Structure 1
Amino acid sequence: MNFLDIAKSRYSVRNYTNQPVEDEKLQKILTAAHVAPTAANLQPVHIIAVQEADGLSRISKAANIYHAPLALIVCTDKTKAWERPFDGMRTTDIDASILTDHMMMEAADLGLGSVWICYFKPDVLKKEFQLPEHLEPVNILAVGYADGVPASPDRHSSTRIPLEELVSYERL
């Protein structure tokens, strides 16, 4: 499948089967994160892969992961991120998002479903996973085998703003 086909077929999965994600697939997903670009290649990120019942239970105290058999907690290291010198903007969330997107698309290419979760209690996640002060959880990617009818890859023409509204050329 080419990239646009993968992107069009991917959707947010909120129902998963009990089938675990095979280690080979998990390694490919993590490799997709590993090759993802970060600002100035500083790589201010850390991923916690959670698949065991105890870890999934601890995540559920902070977020709804929809009973996915795998959750990837994407954290940023506040001490390593690049900072834009003109206004001090730090790229931590951007870098974490790039990694998450790479993992999400690789999961889709492997026939797995996922949902990107930002609605979680960071303080609970920090406590449950004993994160050091310099690591900040940015998002969670729940991953597994989708249970249910997949969304239509043709849905974007009715669920997205028109391309002409999204993009302008040379001026607003």
Structure 2
Amino acid sequence: MSFADLTRARYSCRSYEDRAIEPEKLAAVVEAGRIAPSAHNNHPTQIVICDTPGLKEKAAHAANRFAKDGSVFGAPVVILACARTEDAWVRRNDGMNSSLIDTSIVVDEMMMQATELGLGTCWVCMFDPEIARQEFGLPEGVEPVSMLTMGYPADEIAEPEKREARCISLEQFCDVTR
């Protein structure tokens, strides 16, 4: 599958089959995140793989709006991506910390690898980071950034016309002056 095809195949899956992800597929997704690029090669991201009932329930508690069947959207795997802000590269001019960007890159790389492997994903940012911090016992300086739900889709991608209608136009995308 070409990268262009991959980007068009990916969508936000919110319904999953009750089917486990094969260990080698999960390992490939995790590896894609591990080797993702980061500013100054600092790699300030760490993940929590929620693949047991107890861990999925903790994730669902933090993202309670999307809790379903003891998980987030009923997914067989939820990955909590966290940033270690003190490990990140910081831009000298304005002090911008790259940890959120680096962690987002990790999630994106894992999401695209999962899509290539026939898995559905949904990037979830609507959760309570304080609940996630408590549920997973995250230490100071480890910030929960996003969750990635993953599994075999039980829903289908929208038709191309509907998807295109939700996208920003090329003219708007390329116009920073508006």
* Fold conserved between structures, TM > 0.5: yes
Shift of 1:155: 4.2
- Cα distance between partner residues in 2 of 1:149 and 1:39: 35
Equivalent position to 1:81, from 80, 88, 105: 88
Q: Equivalent residues in 2 for 1:30-41 (5 A)?
A: 30-41=30-41
Give 1:132's match in structure 2, choosing from 128, 131, 139. Answer: 139
Q: Contact 1:14 / 1:66 at 8 angstroms: preserved in 2?
A: yes
Structure 2 unpaired stretches of 5+: 67-71
RMSD of aligned Cα (Å): 1.3
Counterpart amino acid of residue 38 in structure 1: S
- In the alignment, which residue of structure 2 is the partner of 1:164? 171
Q: Retained in 2: the 8 A contact 1:8–1:154?
A: no
Q: Equivalents in 2 of 1:128, 1:83: separation in Å?
A: 29
Indicate whether 1:53 and 2:60 are aligned: no
Kept in 2: contact 1:68–1:144 (CA 8 A): yes
Cα 1:98/1:79, change in 2 over 3 Å = same
Q: TM-score of the superposition, structure 2-length normalised?
A: 0.91
The answer on whether the counterparts of 2:114 and 2:120 sit within 8 Å (CA) in structure 1 is yes
- Give the alignment's TM-score, normalised by structure 1: 0.94
Answer yes or no: is the 8 Å Cα contact 1:10–1:153 preserved in 2: no
Deviation at 1:161, TM superposition (A): 2.0
Does residue 3 of structure 1 match 2:10? no
Counterpart secondary structure, 2:149: strand
Residue number among 124, 127, 144 corresponding to 2:151 in the alignment: 144
The Cα shift of 1:125 comes to: 0.7
| Aligned mates of 1:153, 1:54 — CA distance in 2 | 38
Residue 34 (structure 1) shift? 1.4
Name whichever of 6-15 and 142-151 sits farther off. Answer: 142-151
Find the residue that maps to 1:48 and give its secondary structure. Answer: strand
Q: Give the stretch that moved more between structures: 5-14 or 154-163.
A: 154-163
> What SS is found at the alignment partner of 1:150?
coil
Residue in 1 that maps onto 2:69: none
Deviation at 1:122, TM superposition (A): 0.8
C-alpha distance in structure 2 between counterparts of 1:103 and 1:141, whole Å: 9
C-alpha displacement at 1:148, in angstroms?
2.0
Q: C-alpha displacement at 1:154, in angstroms?
A: 5.3
Contact 2:14/2:155, CA 8 A, preserved across alignment? no
Structure 1 gaps, min length 5: none
Q: Does the 8 A contact of 1:72 with 1:141 survive in 2?
A: yes
Alpha-carbon distance in 1 for matches of 2:98, 2:109: 17
Instruction: Give deviations 1:77-134, integer Å, cap 9, x for gaps.
Output: 1210111100011011100000000001111000000000001111111111111112
